[in-house]
């Protein structure tokens, strides 16, 4: 009920109280503070190791408080690359470390790069940060590499005091622990949902049959590839023993259909817009297919790709044109440099 009342007050009075005021900004040593026209304020510290190449900072720490909320939110955002949501994070302030267990003490909200400390440990860190001088955050990225973010706390106390003044809340207690309001809790295995627009686009294409006419028409699959990309596999056509899927990659800028290599002894290399009998393994982000030349699977093609943050890299391609009665592994046509394919039968 308290949160409902707060929301009602916010939407009723925020425009009248703040809409006429321009956004306010101020710099306090290493921290920048900003309040939007509606009184929502943030103090932030960012590091960009190479601003000529990156459109976003390497990492950022922000403390924010909405105009009518009591709690501050602490958000650590790491962009290049994103943190592993299953690994612990350690916040060490002037040598005093606090370890955050994923999901229990820290979790991603709103975006898979944005991690919010929660509960009593979040309050402990906030209490230490305000008078502190330096914060080090140790975490592991999604590739398993240890990472470290070094954050100066010089100017943080002054930035928070300035925000208190802008919000007319001088002397208010600095409290945190609550999840950020208005943001959805996420994990790396929560893919973006398949939108009605994508289904309509898929249906409007001329390469695939209507989903309602396919045996596998309801077998739509979605997976999270990384912090910024989701994979959607939508049935395309079906036969007696082959079922194909169109593959789409979604990010913040839209959704694009993926195209893949194909090979035959008669035609050599080509490309295709659908994968046959496709499967995806979220443990190592590999995508595979097995296109049968006939039902027992003794001829045809098989291939394996792996997601590499820009697209699917072909790891191996196998093909057998002659149906020889042996459903074992097909001869290797291509193996990526550095990749060790399984031994041929």
- pLDDT in the model for residue 273: 92
Residue bearing tokens 């304020």: 41
Integer Cα distance of 149 and 80 in angstroms:
11
Which residue positions in the chain have pLDDT lower than 50?
1-20, 51-55, 345
Distances (CA, A) of 198 to 69, 156, 207, 258: 37, 44, 15, 14
- pLDDT in the model for residue 228: 78
- Are 42 and 69 spatial neighbours (Cβ–Cβ below 8 Å)? no
Closest to 126 in 3D by CA, of 85, 171, 72: 72
Condensed to tens digits (0 to 9), the pLDDT of residues 24-52 reads 999 999 999 999 998 999 999 988 655 44
Q: For residue 242, give both structure tokens.
A: 């082959």
- Are 117 and 105 spatial neighbours (Cβ–Cβ below 8 Å)? yes
HEC secondary structure over the chain: CHHHHHHHHHHHHHHHHHCCCCCEEEEECCEEEEECCCCCEEEEEEECCCCCCCCCCCEEEEEEECCCCCCCEEEEEECCCCECCCCCEEEEECCEEEEECECCCEEEECCCCEEEECHHHHHHHHHHHCCCCEEEEEEEECCCCEEEEEEECCCHHHHHHHHHHHCCCCCCCCCCCCCCCCCCEECCCCCCCCCHHHHHHHHHCCCCCCHHHCCCCCCCEEEECCCCCEEEEEEEEECCCCEEEEEEEEECCEEEECCEEEEECCCEEEEECEEECCEEECCCCEEEEEEECCCCCCCEEEEEEEECCCCEEEEEEEEECCCCCCCCCCCEEEECCCCCCCCCC
- pLDDT in the model for residue 80: 66
pTM, to two decimals = 0.52
- pLDDT in the model for residue 192: 76
Superfamily of domain 2-186 in the CATH hierarchy: Invasion associated locus B (IalB) protein (2.60.40.1880)
Integer Cα distance of 43 and 1 in angstroms:
29
The full set of domain ranges for the chain reads 2-186, 196-335
């Amino acid at each position: 009920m308290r949160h409902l009342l707060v929301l009602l007050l916010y939407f009723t009075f925020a425009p009248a109280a703040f809409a006429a005021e321009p956004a306010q900004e101020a710099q306090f040593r290493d921290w920048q503070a900003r309040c939007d026209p509606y009184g929502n304020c943030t103090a932030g510290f960012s590091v960009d190791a190479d601003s000529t190449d990156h459109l976003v900072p390497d990492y950022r720490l922000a403390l924010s408080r909405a105009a009518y909320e009591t709690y501050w939110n602490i958000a650590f955002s790491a962009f290049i690359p994103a943190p592993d949501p299953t690994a612990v994070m350690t916040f060490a302030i002037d040598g005093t470390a606090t370890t955050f267990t994923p999901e229990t003490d820290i979790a991603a909200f709103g975006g898979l790069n944005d991690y919010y400390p929660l509960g009593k440990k979040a309050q402990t860190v906030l209490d230490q940060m305000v008078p502190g001088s330096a914060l080090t955050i140790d975490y592991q990225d999604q590739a398993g590499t240890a990472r470290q973010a070094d954050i100066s706390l010089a100017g943080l106390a002054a930035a928070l005091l300035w925000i208190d003044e802008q919000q007319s809340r001088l002397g208010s207690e600095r409290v945190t622990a609550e999840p950020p309001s208005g943001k959805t809790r996420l994990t790396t295995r929560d893919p973006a949902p398949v939108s009605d627009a994508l289904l309509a686009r898929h249906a409007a294409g001329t390469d695939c049959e209507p989903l309602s006419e396919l045996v596998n028409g309801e077998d739509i699959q979605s997976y999270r590839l990384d912090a910024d990309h989701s994979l959607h596999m939508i049935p395309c056509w079906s036969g007696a023993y082959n079922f194909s899927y169109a593959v789409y990659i979604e990010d913040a800028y839209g959704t694009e259909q993926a195209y893949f290599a194909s090979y035959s002894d008669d035609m050599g290399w080509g490309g295709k817009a659908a994968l046959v009998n496709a499967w995806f393994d979220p443990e190592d982000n590999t995508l595979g297919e097995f296109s049968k030349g006939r039902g027992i699977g003794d001829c045809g093609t098989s291939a394996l790709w792996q997601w590499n943050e820009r697209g699917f890299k072909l790891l191996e391609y196998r093909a057998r044109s002659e149906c020889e009665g042996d459903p074992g592994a097909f001869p290797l046509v291509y193996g990526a440099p550095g990749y060790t394919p399984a031994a041929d039968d």
